[in-house]
Structure formats: C-alpha cells, structure tokens
Amino acid sequence: MPDFIVEWLNSNEIFTALTLMEYWDGLVTTVHLVFLSLVIGLIVAVPLAILRTVKNPFVSGPIWLYTYLFRGTPLLIQLYIIYYGVAQIPGIQETFWWEIFKEPLYPALLAFTLNTAAYTTEIIRGAILSTPNGEIEAAKAYGMNWFLRMRRIILPSAARRAVQAYSNEVIFMLHASAIASIVTIVDLTGAARNIYSRFYAPFDAFIFVALIYLALTFILVFAFRKLENHLLRHQRPANS
Amino acid sequence: MKKLLIAASCAMAMFAGGAQAQDLRIAFDVPYEPFEYKDENGELTGFEVELASAMCKELEANCEFVIQAWDGMIPGLLARKFDLIMSSMSITEERAKRVLFSDPYYITPGGWFGPESFNTDVTDLEAMDGKTVGVQRGTTMDTYVTENMHSAVTIKRYTTAEDMVLDLEGQRIDVAFVDYPVGEQTILNRDGYKEVGEPVKLGEGVGVAMRKRDAKLAKEINAALKTLKENGTYDSIMAKYFNYDIKI
C-alpha cells in the first residue's frame, strides 16, 4: 500500500492498514473456500442427481440416504464431526491422511462440499423430474437413446429450471462459510472475530464484515441475473 | 396537615434513600475454575466470587451475581445489564478504551504447555520457527504471541480452551500458550503433557471493569480492595484456591 494511505489509516484506531490486511486475507480465504466447494459440489451433484432419478432402489437409495443425512443435520455439526472427530481416530496421526486432515482447510472444504453437493443434487433432481413429458416423448420419437436424451434434451432443459434455485444455494453457501472460523480458519468472519476481540468494538468489526458479505452477495446476484437472462432468453417476449 | 405529613414522609424517604446501601450487579462467566464456577449444589463459588462478596461487605452494598457469557461481557456492561465485571478480565489498553478498570486484584502468568516429546526452547525464536502455537482469542497470551512471535510461528486462535486442548491432543498445534490456571486444569492433568517453558507474567493483571462514568464507584472499589489485601481477607481467600501467589 502507498505510504500516504497507510498514514491516513493509522490515524484511526481500528481500521489500520494491519486490520484491513486481515480482512483482505479473510476475504481471499472465504472466496477460495466457497468457490472450491461450490465447483466440486456441482461436479459431484450432476451425476448423483441423474442416478437419483433412476428407478432401481439400489442405485437411488444410497444417494437418497446421503442427501437426507447432509440436508438433515446442521453444517456446523458436520464440520465438528469431520474436524474434531477425525483427529480422535486412534493412529490417524501416523497415516498420510493426517497430512490432509491436519490443516483446517481440508476438513472444512470436505464438509462444505458434501453439504452443498447434497442440496445441489436435490435441486437438479427436481429440475430433471419436472421436464415436460412432451419433450421426452419427442426425443424418443426421434430415436434418441437414454444417454443422448439426457445430454441433448433433459439436462439443458433442467439446467434452465435449476439455475434460480441454485443461485440461492450459492448465496446460502457463502453465508454458511462463516462457520469456518470455528475451526481456526481465518476467513472473513474469523478476521472480524479476531479484530472484535482485540478492540472490543463489535459494531465496527462486524458491520464492516457484513458490508463485505453484502458486496459479495451483490456480485453473485448480478452474475446470476446475467446468467438467467442468457439461459432463459427464449422465454422473453418478442421485441424487448 | 395531612398534605404536610405526606410531604414530610416523602422527604424522609428521599433522605433515607440517599443513605441506603447501593445495589450492584456483578457479572461472571462460568465455569472458569477456580475463579468462578458452580459447586455440586449449583451455588456460584470460586476465588473471584468470594472476593466479590467480601468486597460488597466492605462497600456495604447489596450485590447480585449475574452469569454472562464472555463474548457479551463488555456489551452487557455498557447496556446496563450489570454494573461490574469481576470475571478475570485482564486490564488491556484496548479494553480500557471502552470500560473503566479498578486497580488490579490478581495476576496469573501465561503458561506454555505441550506434549512430553516437546523439547524446544519457547523463548528461542529460531528454534520455534515453523511451530504452531495455540492461544485463546483476545487473551494477553494472544497479544504476546501476535506481537513477538508472529514472524516465526503459525498462530491458531480458539474461542474455548477445550477446542484448543482437542487440537493439542490431535497434534494440530505443537504447543499451547494459555493462562496458567487454565492449562493446569485442562492440559497438565492429562497423561503425556507437561509445562514446556517458564510462566510469563503478562499485562497489568485483572481488574474490576465498570462503565466509564462510574469514577466515584471506582474509587470506593479501589479502597475496598486495598483494605481486603491489607487485612488478610484476600490472603485467606487466595489460600483456599491456589498454591501459588497471584496477589498484585
């Protein structure tokens, strides 16, 4: 940072260059964590959602159980179990797994990914199930096999219907990531808590971080609106 | 005549009110053994609770004890939910911007605790390079490590001592730097753990916190604490709970 900004910042008590850097590092961690878990979650969720619609209960049953478990328990509990629970397994410290689970980032990433994948699976499944019968029948009439129908007709059509519900899931995930600070990750909320406990200024520390979350949400809402306009442009009235 | 009587009795009531003992609500965050905790009968007890009782007697005040979680301590005080905090609140510059502190009434050192296998000199920054140190967020130990060791070690901050002990057991941190009595209660009583460095006396000690405007009350409290420290009451309470000196 340029010197004059540093000087100006140091003239107030709380928002010094040092604390702003802490918020910045927290922002990077939050975005990193949320982005990775959403991307991996989505990649996992698409095949799971397709398999969830299969009629064979030995295929759809386990996926139902998985989404039920992860949607049926609080994310905080899942994170606690993965972070503290795994460390209590006897002998884990001697295995290579410990290299992964030692750092708080990976347990948190795992919990977030499994959680968001469970929700996304159900969102996409709902969209697949609500595909108009006429579209499927038409595809069958063209002689498309199951794979081709899925790829050309059902999934593109389902994606359009899922995008609005999915945008909510993305925003929820951003806000749910605040609990990462429980397991010593210094994300945005973790930075705010550190600064709060140093200066005993709850309003300053938390309102500032709330504004950052608002800005992030604004970016997400804006991006999803663009995406919806793009995907649903065939539904727009003519000449608009 | 009747009116006069009423007026007179009102005036008397007002004078009587002026001389009446003041009401003080004192906040504690429990459990924080041996400073404040509930005994097997559910009664609030501990070093600071007994000291608070003795102080109230000295002040001739009616005291009520309130239980308040740590995170809401200073906000609760400022919102007038209670009048005093006697819950092991260390006097720091940052806190003193929001509340008024009495003279310190005790100081406990910070202690270094780690597994038996830990043999590094914690005061040697080069030897400590790359180690992970656990502290409780916002404590004087946190400030010390943040200011003096951040270039060499990774600092992990915890809300509760229990979470930190779990991560010490899980080897996510190499060493914990906590308030000595806390470490004694939560780490030293486990097998395979020891003190790994000299205790460090940090900060200015623990004081009674009150609202900034209560300057008169602060003077009375300082006088009461001084009397207790001098007449032996303080020493006898301290002897009940500690085998080391925390007097300041």
Per-residue pLDDT of chain A (240 residues; tens, 9 = 90+): 677 777 766 777 778 888 899 999 999 999 999 999 999 999 999 999 999 999 999 999 999 999 999 999 999 999 999 998 888 888 888 888 888 888 899 999 999 999 999 999 999 999 999 999 999 999 999 999 999 999 999 999 999 999 999 999 999 999 999 999 988 899 999 999 988 888 878 888 999 999 999 999 999 999 999 999 988 888 778 765
CA dist B71 and B207 (Å) reads 17
B94/A contact by beta carbon, under 8 A: yes
Residue with tokens 């002689």: A143
Cβ separation of A184 and B158 shorter than 8 Å?
Answer: yes
CATH superfamily of B110-195: Periplasmic binding protein-like II (3.40.190.10)
B194: β partners: B114
* Interface residue ranges in chain A relative to chain B, Cβ cutoff 8 Å: 13, 84, 87-88, 93, 98, 102, 104, 182, 184, 186, 193-194, 197-202
CB B215 within 8 A of CB B134: no
CB B68 within 8 A of CB B88: no
B151/A contact by beta carbon, under 8 A: no
Select from B137, B163, B171 the Cβ nearest to the Cβ of A93: B171
B247/A contact by beta carbon, under 8 A: no
A181 closest CA partner among A26, A74, A36: A26
CATH superfamily of A3-233: MetI-like (1.10.3720.10)
Cβ separation of B138 and A93 shorter than 8 Å?
Answer: no
For residue B235, the tally of other CB atoms under 10 A from its CB is 13
pLDDT recorded at residue A86: 86
B93/A contact by beta carbon, under 8 A: no
Q: Which helix (H) or strand (E) holds B45?
A: strand B44-45
Classify each residue of B134-148 as buried b or exposed e, where b means 16 or more C-beta atoms within 10 Å of its C-beta. Answer: bbbbbbbbbbbbeee
Residue with tokens 């940090």: B202
Tokens of residue A15, six digits: 């928002």
CA dist A137 and A143 (Å) reads 10
Tokens of residue B247, six digits: 């007097």
Cβ separation of B137 and A88 shorter than 8 Å?
Answer: no
Select from A13, A87, A197 the Cβ nearest to the Cβ of B170: A87
CB A233 within 8 A of CB A160: no
Cα B116 from chain centroid (whole Å): 29
B156/A contact by beta carbon, under 8 A: yes
Residue A152 sits at φ, ψ, to 5 deg, of -90, -30
What chain A residue is nearest to B173 in terms of C-alpha separation?
A102
CA dist A104 and B41 (Å) reads 40
Tokens of residue B75, six digits: 């906000």
pLDDT recorded at residue B161: 87
B149 closest CA partner among B123, B175, B168: B123
pLDDT recorded at residue B162: 87
Domain spans of chain B, in order of start:
23-107+203-241, 110-195
pLDDT recorded at residue B73: 93
pTM above 0.90?
A: no
Cβ separation of B94 and A198 shorter than 8 Å?
Answer: yes
User: Above 0.90 for ipTM, yes or no?
Assistant: no
Tell me the helices (H) and strands (E) count for chain A, helix number first: 12, 0
Q: Rounded to whole angstroms, what are the CA distances from A70 to A118, A176, A179?
A: 6, 14, 16
Q: Which residues of A touch B98 (CB under 8 A)?
A: 200-201
Domain spans of chain A, in order of start:
3-233
B76/A contact by beta carbon, under 8 A: no
CB A5 within 8 A of CB A20: no
Q: Rounded to whole angstroms, what are the CA distances from A168 to A164, A172, A175, A176, A178?
A: 7, 6, 11, 12, 16
Which of the listed CATH numbers 1.20.272.10, 3.40.50.720, 3.40.190.10, 3.40.50.2000 matches domain B23-107+203-241? 3.40.190.10
Select from A87, A184, A193 the Cβ nearest to the Cβ of B156: A184
Q: Which helix (H) or strand (E) holds B209?
A: strand B206-210
Classify each residue of A94-113 as buried b or exposed e, where b means 16 or more C-beta atoms within 10 Å of its C-beta. Answer: eeeebeebbebbbbbbbbbb
Pairing of the two strands B154-158 and B132-136:
parallel
pLDDT digits (tens, 9 = 90+) for B7-49: 555 444 444 444 457 899 999 998 887 899 998 998 999 999 9
pLDDT digits (tens, 9 = 90+) for B185-232: 889 888 899 999 888 888 888 999 999 999 999 999 999 999 999 999
CA dist B183 and B203 (Å) reads 18
* Number of CB pairs, chain A paired with chain B, less than 8 A apart: 45
Residue B65 is which amino acid? F
Residue B134 Cα, gap to closest chain A Cα (Å):
10
B138/A contact by beta carbon, under 8 A: yes
Q: Which residues of A touch B169 (CB under 8 A)?
A: 87-88
Query: Can you spell out the DSSP letters for B178-208?
Result: EEHHHHHHHTTTSTTEEE-S--B--TT-EEE
Residue B41 Cα, gap to closest chain A Cα (Å):
32
For residue B125, the tally of other CB atoms under 10 A from its CB is 13
CA dist A31 and A108 (Å) reads 13
